[in-house]
Amino acid sequence: MTRAIPISMFLIAAGLTPIIRGWARRCKIVDHPDETALKIHAEPVPLCGGVVLIICLSIGLLAYTLIYPFAKPYLAQIAVTGIASLFVFFVGFKDDQNGLRPCIRLGVHSLSAVLLTWMGLMSGLVPGHIIAVWIAFFLVTGSINAWNFIDGMDGLCASLALISAVGFLLSGYYLSNNIVMAVSAVLCGSLLGLLPYNLFPARIFLGDSGSGLLGLLLSAMVILADPLVWSLKILVAFMLLLGIPLVDFFVTVLRRMVRRQQLFKGDRDHIYDLLLKRGWSQPKVWAALCLIQCLFVLAGLKILSKTIL
């Protein structure tokens, strides 16, 4: 697997982010602080980190398909993943601009999940029995929203996604799966270029377009990985690669159901919020959760290596 494309994605993201940041300010696509407790930043911050990611993803995957022969058998899977990514990106971008009703966002997320599940069925990556189909569907919709939920503190979502992407890169190596390695390599390069602008104090936010896109791509890599992923051990290993956002998502949904709250109405009771309420600084919370994410990923890779190798 060549290093030229992920390095190029790093350089493109690093150079493009200030340009997109300036464009977002001129177009007033910014997240304003308000008087509610939901926003912890003090100054307006551009919301277009997702624009950087979708541009880098498009360029990177197109480069792989045009240059490298290994990508040719995966053209259909790459195309469907790209279409689903665009759906999630655009509904998130629209939500960042004007706000959308949760039912509209969930509808588009579900459509993207149906596309990826159908792609998995048609290519033999998802077994035909009903349980596997529902697992794939809920994995995608859950992951999109999980990474959106975790995107409430500077640099956290992008950093956790980078750690997961490195895990998927190694899992692709274990499975000898070039397409998983390609997608994760593009993602790693793009996030490394964007991350310096997203860390505390953030100069650009991912927005719903960026966090949702990360959730879709990481869940897509589970489906793209291999038919062997549907053994229980390997499925558990991939859930561990997703790590903290998945845990926070299930805890959040359960908590809101118990309290009879709206499932998609924001609150400040996520794992990072609880640590901030204990008096931890944002950098300290970021470091602690990144360390835990690394442990999740290492545990997943350990299970994967023992099962495959």
Q: Taking each helix axis from N to C terminus, what angle separates 75-98 and 102-122, rounded to the nearest 10 degrees?
A: 180
Q: What are phi and psi of 126, to 5 degrees?
A: -115, 125
Convert the pLDDT of each residue in 138-148 to its tens digit. Answer: 999 999 999 99
Is the model's pLDDT at 290 over the cut of 90? yes
- CA 49 from centroid of its chain's CA atoms: 12
Contact 218, 168 (CB under 8 A): yes
Residue that is written with structure tokens 């956002």 in the block? 245
Residue that is written with structure tokens 């159901």 in the block? 257
Among the listed residues 261, 5, 293, 308, the one whose alpha carbon sits nearest the alpha carbon of residue 166: 293
Please report, for residues 2, 40, 129, 133, 180, the alpha-carbon distance to residue 60 in angstroms, rounded to integers and kept in the order given: 12, 34, 34, 29, 13
Question: For position 37, what pLDDT does the model report?
Answer: 57
Q: Which of 2-6, 16-20, 177-181 has the lowest mean pLDDT?
A: 2-6
Among the listed residues 195, 107, 196, 172, the one whose alpha carbon sits nearest the alpha carbon of residue 145: 107
In angstroms, the CA 189 to CA 185 distance is: 6
Q: How many CA atoms lie within 13 A of 237 on its CB side?
A: 27
Among the listed residues 163, 181, 162, 161, the one whose alpha carbon sits nearest the alpha carbon of residue 171: 181
Handedness of CA 230, 234, 235, 238 (dihedral sign): negative
Is the model's pLDDT at 93 over the cut of 70? yes
Instruction: Return the structure tokens found at 237.
Output: 């290993």
Instruction: Return the structure tokens found at 58.
Output: 């498009």
3-state secondary structure of 30: strand
Is the model's pLDDT at 116 over the cut of 70? yes
Is the model's pLDDT at 231 over the cut of 80? no
Helix spans in the chain (H): 4-26, 49-67, 75-98, 102-122, 130-149, 156-175, 178-198, 207-225, 232-242, 244-258, 271-277, 282-308
Quick one: average pLDDT of 40-57? 91
Q: Which of 48-52, 72-76, 218-222 has the lowest mean pLDDT?
A: 72-76
- CA 144 from centroid of its chain's CA atoms: 7
In angstroms, the CA 270 to CA 143 distance is: 16
In angstroms, the CA 290 to CA 157 distance is: 10
